[in-house]
Amino acid sequence: MSATDTGGRVSRFGSAVAEGWTRERLGLLGAVALVLVAFAPPFQVYLFTDFLVVALFALGFNLLYGYTGLLSFGHGLFYAGGAYGIAIVLRDLGPVIADVVGAGISPLVTFVLGGVVGLALVVALAVPVGWLSVRLEEIYFALITLAFGMLGYSLIIQDPAGLTNGTDGVIVLLGTVDLGGFSLRIGGRRIYYAISAVTVVAAVYGVWRVVNSPFGTVCKAIRESPDRAAALGIDVSHHRWMTFIVSAAVVGIAGVLRAGLASVASPGLTHWSTSAIAVIATVIGGATYFYGPIVGAFIFLYIRWAISRFPALEAYWELFFGALLIAVVLFFKQGAVGGLLLLRDRLFGDGDADDAGSGGGGARDDGGQATAATDDGAESGDDNARADRGDNS
Amino acid sequence: MSLTSLVPLIGIADVVIGLSLGSRLFLIAVGLSLIFGVLGVLNFAHGGFYMLGAYVTLAVVSNVVDNFWVAAVVGALAVGVVGAAIEFSAIRRLYDRVDSDLDQLIVTFGFVLVIHETVRFVWGSGSYSIDPPDVFNFSVTLGGSTFNAYRLVVIGLAVGVLAALWLFITRTYFGSLVRGTSSDREMAAMLGVDVPRLYTGVFFLGSVLAGLGGALSAPLQSTSPALGDQVIIDAFIVVVIGGLGSMSGAFVGAMLIGMMQSLGPQFISAGSIAIPFLAMVIVLLIRPEGLFGGIGE
């Protein structure tokens, strides 16, 4: 790539930032917010890392639900696959790797290798499970994925191969990188946040590219009408299978990060109630929007945290989400992102008023990005929008 | 090991326990299957209904009347009313949507959370248990093994419910309306069937059966808020194996799973809890309509 090309890109980026309500400016804002979070109090850093991991989990799930119309109740299987993959590598291969690359750097090498193994394990699982599952549709697809998830749960609990340590799960010790005068504890909250943030942002970008590729367009066509898609010559079940694998892989990455965050890979990750978290976050956020699951995960984690501040209510946070889930499905299927876009159009009605109603798939994502990337949610996004309009006029 | 030496290992008590576990599964699964067969709704909250039936029965026995049978009827009817209210206020809004199946599943899942937390709020997180009614609370010894006589009562009641349901669906006027609406909703509506009322009625009946299952098995298990989540998964396995919508399938599937839960651990130590899920996957792939096919049979 030539220097002038890069220069052109920089100047285009600069002018785009100056113009206001643009994707580049929001991206920059999000990046600044992500860096700022690293300086928050430790618990807030932990909570935000938790949000990022759940957001990636839900985003992976929604690749299948929102983009091809298949509701999986078994994605916990892939969440756990990633977690157990890295946990078992750390437990069993740690010493071997230390012998090969030296004790100083080995925790980092083991961590990366474990992540790769976890991801490979998930893909190896998703290929046959997906191939079998996509033969079914609707309720039957939900039931077979539920069965696969619970099958994995049973096998992890009973541990016939002696790998998963039964109900206790596998402890994850991330260790400390030590290079002479420089040492880095991978499991430290801020370090782990940095690793998670970079991984999640990269994965989200990857998913975004997939969704906006010709492949993603075909997925949306299948969601709208499988029969018409088939009539156009699209191999519907093959596409669903491929989407299933990509979806599982994204969830697997979230699972790898979950293991390090929780310091344990536990069987509960495969249970259907864990798979249900992705369903809750996605539906509340808005399944027809790319950023819906991310916003939903934000709502899920932060409302749960807010409820936990009140000891009398703490134990009953599920009640709130149950009621919210029912209300969203019954009355406002566009979810939180749809609501935010509707609100934006009410406030600054500027021509693209059809945003919220039609559920524009991956195209209508700017409102969601603002909410997801900045720590304090909807308000700041809207404030920025107002300031931007002021600059323009 | 030869077959003859294997047989004595299966005590009669194990068989009775397996059948009584199957009976409680039948009562929840048959309601689930009936609702799916007629309304096309897979009710995730059915396990919650079962649990609610057990709790209401326990509460009535300890606070209102000291008669188990009255309490069980009150429990079952109370759950029926809750179910009908849920159908009337929420599920009804979704029948005409394009992707109604998944929306219904998600809404009923929302009710799983609501019922679970409400039960925890009212009765706390602890577990409760009661003795079987005095008349049947004695031990039976058969072939060298011992079990509580109440288990036989539960099995008998499950068989009775199956017979009554079968007569109701095949021999009564209301049953013919149910069958007609199940096979063609629009045609039934055009012929003058009040479909919305029939749907609420069927949902009520299915919920009563789940509540009855919970009420009758209250003396056989400890009742805790986790009960609903455990039992709904077993019920899903049963209705898939038996065939969604099939009542006789629900009975056979329930007895199969009940026996597997009772006898399985003696024969296969590792992987025994995985077998029902494996069976579920295989049935879904090979015969999604279930081993005993036929909606409404």
Domain boundaries, chain B: 3-129+151-286
Burial of A37-54, coded b for 16+ CB within 10 Å and e otherwise, reads beebeeeebbbbbbbbbb
Closest of A70, A77, A111, A78 to residue A93, by C-alpha: A111
Angle, to 10 degrees, between the axis of helix A335-348 and the axis of helix A366-373?
110
- What the block records as the tokens of B120 is 């925890």
The more confident residue out of A391 and A36 is A36
CB-CB contact of A157 with A166 (8 Å) = yes
Average pLDDT over residues B153-181: 85
Which among B93, B229, B273 is the nearest to A158, CB-wise? Answer: B273
Quick: pLDDT tens for A186-219.
Answer: 777 888 888 888 899 899 989 888 888 888 888 8
- Selection from A77, A66, A214 nearest residue A144 by Cα: A77
pLDDT at B10: 65
Predicted confidence at residue B267, as pLDDT, reads 67
Could you tell me which of A272, A379, A285, A343 has the C-alpha nearest to residue A51?
A285
Q: Measured between CB atoms, does B277 come within 8 Å of chain A?
A: yes
CB contact under 8 A, A147 and B284: yes
Residue A389 has pLDDT above 70, yes or no: no
pLDDT (mean) for B198-202: 87
Bridging pattern class, strands A182-185 and A264-265: unpaired
How many alpha carbons lie under 13 Å from residue A229 in its C-beta half-sphere? 20
Model pLDDT, residue A322: 86
- What pLDDT is stored for residue A391 in this prediction? 36
| Phi, psi dihedral angles at A363 (to 5 degrees) | -75, -35
Task: Give the model's pLDDT for residue B207.
Answer: 93
Residues B286 and A99: their CA atoms lie apart, in Å, by 50
Mean pLDDT lowest among A294-308, A320-334, A359-373, B91-105: A359-373
Is there a contact between A130 and A241 (Cβ–Cβ < 8 Å)? yes
| Chain A: residue whose CA lies nearest to B121 | A316
Alpha carbon separation from A305 to A48, A197, A298, A351, B193 (Å, rounded): 11, 20, 11, 37, 50
Chain A: give the shortest CA distance to residue B36, in Å. 11
Give the amino acid at B112.
V
Least confident of A133-142, A192-201, A250-259, B63-72: B63-72
Rounded (5°) CA angle B15-B21-B24? 140
pLDDT band at A119 (very low <50, low <70, confident <90, very high): very high
Which pLDDT belongs to residue A235?
A: 84
What does the alpha-carbon distance between residue A218 and residue A204 come to, in Å, rounded to a whole number?
A: 19
Say yes or no: A129 contacts chain B, CB-CB below 8 A. no
| Residue B214, burial from CB neighbour count under 10 angstroms (0-12, 13-18, 19+) | buried
List CB contacts (< 8 A) between A71 and chain B.
102, 105-106
- Pairing, β A176-179 against β A182-185: antiparallel
* pLDDT at position A258 over 80: yes
Say yes or no to pLDDT of B42 above 80: yes
3-state secondary structure of A302: helix
Which of A68-77, B128-137, B155-164 is least confident?
Answer: B128-137
Please report how many Cα atoms fall inside a 13 Å half-sphere around the Cα of residue A253, on the Cβ side. Answer: 24
| Residue B60, pLDDT above cutoff 70 | yes
What whole-number distance in Å separates Cα of residue B145 and Cα of residue A326? Answer: 49
| Beta-bridge partners for B145 | B142
**Fold type of domain B3-129+151-286:** ABC transporter involved in vitamin B12 uptake, BtuC (1.10.3470)
Tell me if B284 and A325 make a contact (CB, 8 A cut-off). no
Q: Is the predicted pLDDT of residue A375 greater than 50, yes or no? A: no
CB-side exposure of A367: number of CA atoms within 13 Å?
26
Residue B148 has pLDDT above 80, yes or no: no
Kindly state whether B105 is in contact with chain A, defined as any CB-CB distance less than 8 angstroms.
yes
- With H, G, I as helix, E, B as strand and everything else as coil, classify residue B195: helix
Least confident of B78-82, B192-196, B206-210: B192-196
Query: Can you give the pLDDT at residue A366?
Result: 40
pLDDT of residue B36 exceeding 90, the answer is no
Instruction: Look at residue A244 in the predicted model and tell me its pLDDT.
Output: 93
ipTM, two decimals, is 0.86
Q: Buried b / exposed e across A299-331, counting CB within 10 Å, b at 16+?
A: bbbbebeebeeeeeeeebbbbbbbebbbebbbe
Q: How does pLDDT run across A227-240, given as a tens digit for each residue? A: 888 888 888 888 88
